[in-house]
Amino acid sequence: MSSAPHIEEQLVQFIQEYQEINGTHIEVYENPPTSVEFLRNCVHPNRPAVIKNAFSHWPAYNLWTNEYLREKMGDSIVTVATTPNGYADAVTYDSVTDQEYFALPHEKKMTLDRFLGIMEGNIATPHAHYISLQNDSLHTEYAILKDDIEEEIDWCSEALGKKPDAVNFWMGNDKSITSLHKDPYENCYAVLRGKKTFVLLPPSEYYCLHEQLYPSAIYTPTTTSDDDVHASYKLTPLDPPMKTPWIPVDPLHPDLERYPRFQYAKPIVVTIEKGEMLYLPALWFHQVLQYGDEGVIAINAWYDMDYRNMLYPSFGLFRNLLLTGGDDSDDEDEE
């Protein structure tokens, strides 16, 4: 993008005008909204909301203890994202090559019982382990649990005029932190155990985030042992090489000397407790942290965004103007 001061001045003015109009307000509903309320107050203006008392009637709300999960599927093999530092799908510096990569996690197969042992602290490991398999994981690896929730969020489905594209099961602890990213989905995110803190930024603040193209690499074990407790990992560049657009800024601890445009951002921080649901609009940037004993559990429903909306091509315009380094990218989906 041209560094012409006039263009940068106009982008900052655009960001600040949106901030002045909307502030950092998040709609909070004590009970689920009607579909009309949800459409008018949240979907159309593309603004997040917290919905309380939305799913306390789900059997999972009380059933999903570790004992219950072991009884239902303790011997089942599940996919666990494993990293040495807790950052999967994140920009990571590799001291071996003196280079930054978009780092993918090692996907390890283990029994759910073993994973729960790690969450409980009964199996010691220096690594971070996170159940974060996407693309409708509730209907694949966790299908035995699907009757414990209501997959159809009626007020959301009615407002959007569609059913969820995917429903996903998430479980992890405070070792795992999701880096700042966005998804092309309307996201209804329900916390069933523990709590999750979301750091949110609207699509209008894309200019602040210094997104760049990074070579992609994946964490791979340096030994052939299946013992993840003592294994070490290295970053291995993908073959064939691939570049991925990603955001390097940590919104809670930004390096303003390296990423000066973040000074114009106004992150919104919201904590979602057990029994609460976050509506996260399409293309909103978010970082996710989690806290809770013996594993934090969440379910989210992804509804495909309406690509007819001007938001999608407008965001594409911003990205094309600002992103440099080529176009051989892979756009990842995350939490």
- Percentage of the chain with pLDDT > 90? 86
Q: Is the pLDDT of residue 192 over 60?
A: yes
Q: Can you tell me the distance from the alpha carbon of 179 to that of 31, in angstroms, rounded to the nearest whole number?
A: 30
Confidence at residue 223, expressed as pLDDT on a 0 to 100 scale: 77
H helix or E strand, kind and range, residue 50: strand 49-52
Confidence at residue 232, expressed as pLDDT on a 0 to 100 scale: 87
Confidence at residue 231, expressed as pLDDT on a 0 to 100 scale: 80
Token pair 């009637």 is found at 57
Q: Can you tell me the distance from the alpha carbon of 156 to that of 51, in angstroms, rounded to the nearest whole number?
A: 11
- The residue ranking higher by pLDDT, 5 or 200, is 200
Confidence at residue 334, expressed as pLDDT on a 0 to 100 scale: 57
Q: Is the pLDDT of residue 324 over 70?
A: no
| pLDDT single digits (tens) 41-66 | 999 999 999 999 999 999 999 999 99
Q: Is the pLDDT of residue 80 over 60?
A: yes
- Kindly state the tokens that stand for 91: 């920009």
Q: Can you tell me the distance from the alpha carbon of 91 to that of 100, in angstroms, rounded to the nearest whole number?
A: 6
Q: Can you tell me the distance from the alpha carbon of 297 to that of 280, in angstroms, rounded to the nearest whole number?
A: 17
Residue 98: CA atoms inside 13 Å, Cβ hemisphere, count? 0
Confidence at residue 45, expressed as pLDDT on a 0 to 100 scale: 95
Which residue type occupies 50? Answer: V
Q: Can you tell me the distance from the alpha carbon of 173 to that of 185, in angstroms, rounded to the nearest whole number?
A: 24
pLDDT confidence tier of residue 182, bands split at 50, 70 and 90: very high
* Contact present, 210 and 333 (Cβ < 8 Å): no
Q: Is the pLDDT of residue 187 over 90?
A: yes
Helix (H, G, I), strand (E, B) or coil at 35: helix
In sign, the C-alpha dihedral spanning 292, 231, 137, 267 is: positive
pLDDT confidence tier of residue 224, bands split at 50, 70 and 90: low
Confidence at residue 286, expressed as pLDDT on a 0 to 100 scale: 98
Q: Can you tell me the distance from the alpha carbon of 292 to that of 193, in angstroms, rounded to the nearest whole number?
A: 7
* Contact present, 203 and 46 (Cβ < 8 Å): yes
Q: Can you tell me the distance from the alpha carbon of 282 to that of 246, in angstroms, rounded to the nearest whole number?
A: 17
* Contact present, 207 and 324 (Cβ < 8 Å): no
Helix (H, G, I), strand (E, B) or coil at 53: coil
Which residue type occupies 142? Answer: Y
- Kindly state the tokens that stand for 204: 């209008």
Q: How long is the chain?
A: 335
| pLDDT single digits (tens) 108-155 | 999 999 999 999 999 989 999 999 988 899 999 999 999 999 988 999
- The residue ranking higher by pLDDT, 227 or 145, is 145
Q: Is the pLDDT of residue 88 over 90?
A: no
pLDDT confidence tier of residue 329, bands split at 50, 70 and 90: very low
H helix or E strand, kind and range, residue 304: strand 296-304
Confidence at residue 327, expressed as pLDDT on a 0 to 100 scale: 43
Q: What is the mean pLDDT of residues 176-198?
A: 97
- Percentage of the chain with pLDDT > 70? 93
Q: What is the mean pLDDT of residues 234-250?
A: 96
Confidence at residue 6, expressed as pLDDT on a 0 to 100 scale: 84
Q: Can you tell me the distance from the alpha carbon of 135 to that of 250, in angstroms, rounded to the nearest whole number?
A: 26
Q: Can you tell me the distance from the alpha carbon of 94 to that of 89, in angstroms, rounded to the nearest whole number?
A: 14
* Of 3-17, 54-68, 165-179, 255-269, minimum mean pLDDT range: 3-17
Q: Can you tell me the distance from the alpha carbon of 60 to that of 146, in angstroms, rounded to the nearest whole number?
A: 9
Q: Is the pLDDT of residue 284 over 60?
A: yes
- Kindly state the tokens that stand for 176: 């795992």
What residues have CB less than 8 Å from 236, skipping those under 6 apart? 217, 218, 219, 220
